[in-house]
Each structure stands twice: as structure tokens, then as C-alpha cells.
Amino acid sequence: MKIGIIIVTYNRKECLLKSLKLYEQQSKLPSYILVVNNNSNDGTEKVLNDWKNDEKHFKKYVINLNNNIGGSGGFYTGLKKGLELDADWIWVSDDDAYPEKDALENIYKYVKSNDEKTIHKISTICGQVINNNKIDESHRKRLKKSFLKIDFIPVNKNEYDKESFELELFSYVGSAINKRYLKQAGLPEKDYFIYYDDTEHSYRLSKKGKIICLPSVKIIHDVDSRTSCDVDWKKYYGMRNRLLFLKKHFNIRYYIYSYVTQIIKCAIRDIIKSSLIENVQIRDALKDSRQNVLGLHSKYKPGWKP
């Protein structure tokens, strides 16, 4: 059994170097590490060239992209290459996600301790994501469907006391995808740019095989340095891609319900003169979801602020 690592990075070379070092210090080393550099302009390319030339007991690969094609494009590129490389499982993660030393070893142990028939049914093995010394439930979810609405429900923290549990939706933070099932489910939606690419992809994988979380596999996700504001360029993609996901995979009533709900919310905010800039973003997202528009929006690019 072999595990390959795929990391997508953009302008966070210090985070990237820290994560690479942690993978190199794993108690059970990966078969390879592949880094997709999303056209960083902070010196990441030079750092990766130096890293690649420093020989270790595994193979190193670097893909330097000519444009920033977003996280979705980066993981699409990485996983496409991963299909050609020598590993049975492909671990995907962000550049600011730090695995504990025994993370990969615990996946090996789980696979080796179970019979082949059990493992054969598993499409993905996920780890436990920790942020600020607490379980970050947002990375592992299940679907809850009513007649009109679909919710993405985080797995309850109590379940992390188990040896393992099943789920339906995972993030690209510490998730190892079985390459055989990746071939069946296909690659991520490369033109989502950011947000919901992992949700949509994991949903497809869940239809092919079980998704298992092993709480013993722990990843520290460094989000402290990120800033947030009420309105930023990412909100457009979150709304658009969620709607496109519903439209693609479920009865059209779920898309219509979510679409109409957002129209009503926008109308209410117009009346009370609240979040008017956000309304513009949401209406742009609604229009583009209706017209099946994907890719990087001409206005909502990285760094955009109202």
C-alpha cells in the first residue's frame, strides 16, 4: 500500500515549508509529494525548486501553473497527475494544514488491520481536523434532505470518540482518496475556482464507495492568520457553486427553493437598506447559477473588496 501527497499552494510559502517538513517527518513516509503552485508571486517557485533538489526517501514533484486557477483548478491539476503516479491512495490537503507525525501511519494501520473486502468498499479515508485545539466540525459533514431543502450537517463532535465513522462530504484537508474510486468518480470540477469543489467531488465519491473518518489521523489546520470581513470576493463563489451543486446532483426543486429563498432575502435587505453590496454579489451568483456560468468572475477576483 502506498500513499501519495498532493498539496495546492498560493502565496503562503512559510506555511508550505512547514507542512512539507511535517510530511518529511512522518513516521510512515509517503510514496511521493506533489505540490501544485497556483502561480504564487511571493518566491514560492524558488522555494519549491530548492525543496525538489533536496533528495529524500520519496519522490518529489512540482507543477508551477502559469495562472492562478483557484483551489478547484489546482486540485484538479494535482489529482489528474496523481492518477499517473505510483500510489494506491492520494492524500489531498491545503498548504496550511499540518499533519501530526503518525497521520499517514494510522491510515496504513487501519487499512492493514481490516480485511480486503472491507477496504475495497472505501473510497476515501479522512482525518480529524483541529483548529485552536478544538475539533473543526466544518470539514466532515452529512447531507440532510427534506422535501424542499438540503442541509450540510457537520458530524457531531461526540462521534470523534469512535475509532471510525462514516460521512458523505469532506474538505480537501487531510483526506486520502482511493485512486481506483477516483478513476470511477472522476476529477473535481476545475472551474468552480474556490468553494464547493471538494463538497461536490466528495459527494460523487460517496456514491462510489464509503467515506470513513479516522479520528486518530489528526491534522492541525492553521487558520489564525486569515482575515475575514462581512463582504469579500469569495462570497460570490460560495453562493454560485452551492447552487450549481444542487442543480447538478438533485431534483430541481432543491435548486429552485434555494434560489427563491435568496431572492426573498435580497428583497428584504433592499427594503431595510442592509448589506446592499452583498446583495449585488448574491444576485450575480444567482444569475450565473441560472446560466451555468463557471470559472473566475471578471469582477470577483482574489483581493477584491467593495
The domain that contains 105 carries what CATH number? 3.90.550.10
- Does residue 296 lie within any of the structural domains? no
- Same domain, yes or no: 197 and 286: no
Residue 228, pLDDT score: 46
Residue 51, pLDDT score: 96
State the residue range of the domain holding 174: 3-221
- Same domain, yes or no: 25 and 123: yes
Residue 222, pLDDT score: 72
Question: CB neighbours of 17 closer than 8 A, spacing ≥ 6?
Answer: 47, 51
- Same domain, yes or no: 108 and 180: yes
Are the C-beta atoms of 9 and 39 separated by less than 8 Å?
no
- Per the rule left: phi > 0, alpha: psi between -120 and 50, beta: everything else, 232 is beta
- Tell me the per-residue pLDDT of 210-247, one tens digit each, with 9 for 90 and over: 999 999 999 999 786 444 445 689 999 999 999 999 99
- Same domain, yes or no: 48 and 80: yes
Residue 224, pLDDT score: 62
Give CA angle at 298 (292, 303), nearest 5°: 120
- Does residue 69 lie within any of the structural domains? yes
Residue 303, pLDDT score: 85
Instruction: Name the domain boundary from 171, 191, 221.
Output: 221
- Same domain, yes or no: 143 and 269: no
- Does residue 43 lie within any of the structural domains? yes
Residue 227, pLDDT score: 44
Q: Retrieve residue 242's grid coordinates.
A: 452551492
Give Dmax (Cα) for the chain: 63
Instruction: Name the domain boundary from 199, 221, 243.
Output: 221
Question: CB neighbours of 43 closer than 8 A, spacing ≥ 6?
Answer: 13
- Per the rule left: phi > 0, alpha: psi between -120 and 50, beta: everything else, 113 is alpha
Strand-pairing partners, residue 34, are 6, 61
Residue 230, pLDDT score: 53
- Same domain, yes or no: 107 and 250: no
**Number of domains within the chain:** 2
Residue 232, pLDDT score: 86
Q: How many helices and strands, by DSSP H and E, does the chain display?
A: 10, 13
Alpha carbons 156 and 138: distance in angstroms, whole number: 10
- Does residue 122 lie within any of the structural domains? yes
- Same domain, yes or no: 216 and 184: yes
Low pLDDT (below 50) residues in the chain = 225-229
Residue 55, pLDDT score: 82
Residue 229, pLDDT score: 44
- Same domain, yes or no: 172 and 215: yes
Instruction: Name the domain boundary from 177, 194, 221.
Output: 221
- Does residue 40 lie within any of the structural domains? yes
Kind and range of the H or E element at 188? Answer: none
Residue 226, pLDDT score: 47
The amino acid present at 166, given as its one-letter code, is E
Helix (H, G, I), strand (E, B) or coil at 90: strand
- Does residue 305 lie within any of the structural domains? no
Q: To 10 degrees, the CA torsion angle through 5, 7, 69, 72?
A: 70
Helix (H, G, I), strand (E, B) or coil at 261: helix
Question: CB neighbours of 12 closer than 8 A, spacing ≥ 6?
Answer: 40, 42, 44, 95, 96
- Same domain, yes or no: 9 and 57: yes
- Same domain, yes or no: 22 and 139: yes
- Same domain, yes or no: 18 and 84: yes
- Does residue 302 lie within any of the structural domains? no
Helix, strand, coil percent values for the chain (each to nearest 5): 45, 25, 35
Q: Retrieve residue 162's grid coordinates.
A: 469512535
The rounded radius of gyration (Å) of the Cα atoms in the chain is: 20
Are the C-beta atoms of 98 and 17 separated by less than 8 Å?
no
Kindly provide the residue ranges of all beta strands, DSSP E only, lying in the chain, ordered along the sequence.
3-9, 32-37, 59-64, 89-94, 97-99, 122-131, 134-135, 140-145, 150-154, 165-167, 169-170, 175-178, 210-221
The reported pTM is 0.95
- Does residue 137 lie within any of the structural domains? yes
Residue 56, pLDDT score: 82
Give CA angle at 67 (306, 169), nearest 5°: 75
- Same domain, yes or no: 155 and 206: yes
